């Protein structure tokens, strides 16, 4: 009441221009502000003004508040525009910060690419070093060839002994042809098995890998074949067949060693021998080096041939040792008989036997020394082969690492270019969306917002004039309904909760939606019952069919496995050879691919965004040119 009294005094002094001394007493004015008169004087102080104000309001007491509302709305619109402008400025600043962050990320990616280029250059130097090491390995191979020549000179000393074995094999070839064929097939099968294991260990042909079960099956098959051969043929014929195979391998080795030409091999490998030094001719003329796999294969064949020679020499030494022991026994018997008076013929025979024993002993010692020498040579060859295999494996691992790094660099470049393209596309789409979609609708949205604001203010004014007591019209049986009994509070009843839990319905679901929810649950139950019935019928049918199937035959399965194994071998071996040829051919073109990659890294469009041009072409045009070049190179490789 005090605020109304002060407001009434202010209205009287300002609007009626009454002096404070002429105002009535406060007690009288308080009586005016008590009861129903308070609302009347409050309305008068807010809406009744002096004459000059009435003239400004154009003869309407309600126009001035509307005018004030319009002024406030204009101020709010101007403030909204300022706020919108500030928001747009903030968004622009955020976009600028995002662009700066993206530029920083691009710079970091470019630095990473530069570092990776440096690492790739270092890897390339290591690759060149490995190539030089391969050249040194080839030189070492030439030295091994020279030692092989010296070994052939040693083998000529055993030529007479081998000639006897060959004559024996020729005399019995007609009788032991089947033995020879079976033994040769077994040996070839075992050699192929070991060759596949070696290729699997060296990872030359990834598609030809054998599992553990396949290896065990192949080994058992080979063992059974060996047992069949030993049971079907006598042991001496099998031994003669093995000796014949060894002699044939020895003859093939001698033919190969006789056909060797060191000077031609050096010129083919790109070396030249001057004053006991090997000179590299790759600087003068560029030639393709033989692949490492062929070098490994030739070294393995050399070691295998040496091992066969060693086995033959050992067998011959054992035979000579048995002959020497028999002769020694005969000599001892003859010496025991010397106590009796003997004639000159007996003494001469004894002397001949002693000379023969001495000769056989010398031959045995020489053969033993040759065996020891061959064992030492074999160990050296195996050690050299092991070193070559380790170096070749390191080169292959490094090559795989280089391929992986190059693929990562390519994916990084593609990702960078795609991110740049997506960023430019997003900027253009955002610009188009703002210009084409948002700008034309901005004025309409402002007008609609102003209209809604005016309507809301009018509704609020009208609602302020309505009494809240008139809105409460809830009457049941001529009595008002309590608040706790409304439909909003009935949803928390225990009965409704029990129904919702039994139907697995959520608590926010309205009561009128429970019928439709129940119908959908019944439909799901019907579908699940049908599925269960179908599953049970299918299981019964499967069980009946499995019961009707006949018992499996192990012999038929074994024959089927043999047929499938033979078909697989016939279908896979040509493919393996083809893949080997393609791999060797691809390795020969490695230098060309590396030069093409270096040319690509040296192109001027590597770090260029799509909007810029270098050398008269954009990034997309440079990329198209690169694709055409790679396509032409692939066609050349396929030809």
Q: Residue 360: inside a domain, yes or no? A: yes
Q: Residue 421's domain spans which residues?
A: 130-428
Rounded to whole angstroms, the Cα distance separating 349 from 180 reads 41
Helix, strand, or coil (residue 279): strand
Nearest to 241 by CA among 316, 170, 169: 169
In terms of C-beta distances under 8 Å and separation of at least 24 residues, what long-range contacts does 252-256 make, across chains too?
253/305, 253/309, 254/152, 254/155
Three-state SS sequence of 192-239: HHHHHHHHHHHCCCHHHCCCHHHHHHHHHHHHHHHHHHHHHCCHHHHH
Q: CA torsion, points 563, 569, 575, 581, in degrees to nearest 10?
A: -170
Q: What is the DSSP letter of 468?
A: G
Q: Residue 441: inside a domain, yes or no? A: no
pTM of the model: 0.21
Half-sphere exposure of 99 (CA within 13 A, CB side): 9
Q: For the chain, first and last CA: distance in Å? A: 107
Helix, strand, or coil (residue 508): coil
Q: Residue 177: inside a domain, yes or no? A: yes
Q: Tell me which H or E stretch contains 115.
A: helix 63-155
Do residues 342 and 361 make contact, with C-beta atoms less than 8 angstroms apart?
no
Q: Residue 252: inside a domain, yes or no? A: yes
Cα Dmax for the chain: 189
Rounded to whole angstroms, the Cα distance separating 416 from 420 reads 6
Return the exposure string of 504-520: e unless at least 16 CB atoms fall within 10 Å of the residue's CB, then b. Answer: ebeeeeeeeeeeebeee
Rounded to whole angstroms, the Cα distance separating 287 from 536 reads 73
Return the exposure string of 452-480: e unless at least 16 CB atoms fall within 10 Å of the residue's CB, then b. Answer: eeeeeeeeeeeeeeeeeeeeeeeeeeeee
Rounded to whole angstroms, the Cα distance separating 583 from 571 reads 19
Q: Residue 47: inside a domain, yes or no? A: no
Q: Tell me which H or E stretch contains 102.
A: helix 63-155
Q: Which residues pair with 617 in a beta bridge?
A: 614
Q: Residue 71: inside a domain, yes or no? A: no
Helix, strand, or coil (residue 477): coil
Q: Which residues of the chain have pLDDT under 70?
A: 1-2, 49-70, 157-162, 164-176, 200-211, 257-293, 295-296, 299, 324, 327-328, 330-358, 463-493, 507-508, 510-511, 549-553, 593, 596-614, 619, 639
Nearest to 630 by CA among 580, 587, 599, 596: 596
Return the exposure string of 351-372: e unless at least 16 CB atoms fall within 10 Å of the residue's CB, then b. Answer: eebeeebeebeebbeebeebbe
C-alpha distance from residue 608 to each of 104, 186, 306, 381, 603 (Å): 15, 65, 62, 56, 11
Q: Residue 452: inside a domain, yes or no? A: no
At which residue do the structure tokens 């007493």 appear?
25
Report CA 397 to chain centroid distance, whole Å: 16
Q: Tell me which H or E stretch contains 343.
A: none
C-alpha distance from residue 351 to each of 271, 328, 341, 425 (Å): 60, 13, 16, 109
Do residues 308 and 247 make contact, with C-beta atoms less than 8 angstroms apart?
no
How many structural domains are present in the chain? Answer: 1
Rounded to the nearest 5 percent, the helix, strand and coil shares of the chain are 80, 5, 15
At which residue do the structure tokens 């308080």 appear?
30
Q: Residue 208: inside a domain, yes or no? A: yes
- Is 183 exposed, middle or buried, given 0-12, 13-18 or 19+ CB atoms closer than 10 A? buried
């Amino acid at each position: 009441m005090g605020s109304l009294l002060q407001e009434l005094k202010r209205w009287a002094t300002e609007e009626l221009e009454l002096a404070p001394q002429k105002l009535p007493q406060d007690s009288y004015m308080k009586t005016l502000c008590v009861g129903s008169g308070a609302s009347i004087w409050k309305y008068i102080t807010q809406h009744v003004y002096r004459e000059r104000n009435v003239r400004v309001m154009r003869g309407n007491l309600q126009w001035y508040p509307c005018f004030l509302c319009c002024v406030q709305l204009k101020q709010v619109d101007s403030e909204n525009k300022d706020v919108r402008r500030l928001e747009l400025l903030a968004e622009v600043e955020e976009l600028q910060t995002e662009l700066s962050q993206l530029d920083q990320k691009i710079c970091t990616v470019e630095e990473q690419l530069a570092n990776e280029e440096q690492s790739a250059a270092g890897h390339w130097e290591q690759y060149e070093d490995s190539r030089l090491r391969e050249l040194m390995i080839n030189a070492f191979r030439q030295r091994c060839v020279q030692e092989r020549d010296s070994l052939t000179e040693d083998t000529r000393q055993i030529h007479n002994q081998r000639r006897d074995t060959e004559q024996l094999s020729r005399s019995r070839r007609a009788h032991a042809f089947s033995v020879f064929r079976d033994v040769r097939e077994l040996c070839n099968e075992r050699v192929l098995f070991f060759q596949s294991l070696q290729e699997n260990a060296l990872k030359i042909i990834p598609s030809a890998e054998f599992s553990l079960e396949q290896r065990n099956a192949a080994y058992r098959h080979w063992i059974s074949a060996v047992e069949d051969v030993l049971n079907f043929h006598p042991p001496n014929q099998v031994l003669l067949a093995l000796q014949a195979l060894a002699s044939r391998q020895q003859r093939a080795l001698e033919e190969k060693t006789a056909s060797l030409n060191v000077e031609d091999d050096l010129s083919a490998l790109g070396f030249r021998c001057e004053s006991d030094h090997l000179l590299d001719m790759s600087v003068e003329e560029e030639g393709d080096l033989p692949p490492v796999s062929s070098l490994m294969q030739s070294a393995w064949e050399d070691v295998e041939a040496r091992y066969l020679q060693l086995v033959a020499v050992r067998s011959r030494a054992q035979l000579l040792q048995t002959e020497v022991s028999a002769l020694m026994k005969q000599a001892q018997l003859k010496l025991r008989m010397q106590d009796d008076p003997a004639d000159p013929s007996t003494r001469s025979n004894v002397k001949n036997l002693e000379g023969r024993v001495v000769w056989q002993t010398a031959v045995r010692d020489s053969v033993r020394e040759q065996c020891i020498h061959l064992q030492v040579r074999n160990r050296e060859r195996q050690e050299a082969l092991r070193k070559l295999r380790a170096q070749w494996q390191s080169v292959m691992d490094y090559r795989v690492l280089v391929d992986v790094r190059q693929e990562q660099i390519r994916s990084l470049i593609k990702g960078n270019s795609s991110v740049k393209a997506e960023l430019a596309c997003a900027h253009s789409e955002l610009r188009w969306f703002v210009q084409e979609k948002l700008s034309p609708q901005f004025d309409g949205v402002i007008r609609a917002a102003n209209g809604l604001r005016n309507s809301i203010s009018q509704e609020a004014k009208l609602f302020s004039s309505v009494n809240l007591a008139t809105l409460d019209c809830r009457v049941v049986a001529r009595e008002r309904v309590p608040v706790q009994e409304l439909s909003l509070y009935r949803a928390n009843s225990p009965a409704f909760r029990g129904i919702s839990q039994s139907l697995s319905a959520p608590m926010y679901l309205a009561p009128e939606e429970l019928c439709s929810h129940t119908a959908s649950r019944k439909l799901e139950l019907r579908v699940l019952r049908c599925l269960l019935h179908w599953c049970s019928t299918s299981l019964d049918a499967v069980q009946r069919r499995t019961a009707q199937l006949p018992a499996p035959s192990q012999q038929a399965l074994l024959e089927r496995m043999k047929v499938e194994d033979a078909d697989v071998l016939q279908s896979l071996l040509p493919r393996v050879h083809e893949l080997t040829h393609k791999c060797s051919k691809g390795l020969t073109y490695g230098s060309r691919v590396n030069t093409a990659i270096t040319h690509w890294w040296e192109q001027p469009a590597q770090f260029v965004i799509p909007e810029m041009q270098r050398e008269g072409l954009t990034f997309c045009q440079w990329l198209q040119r690169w694709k055409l070049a790679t396509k032409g190179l692939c066609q050349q490789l396929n030809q």
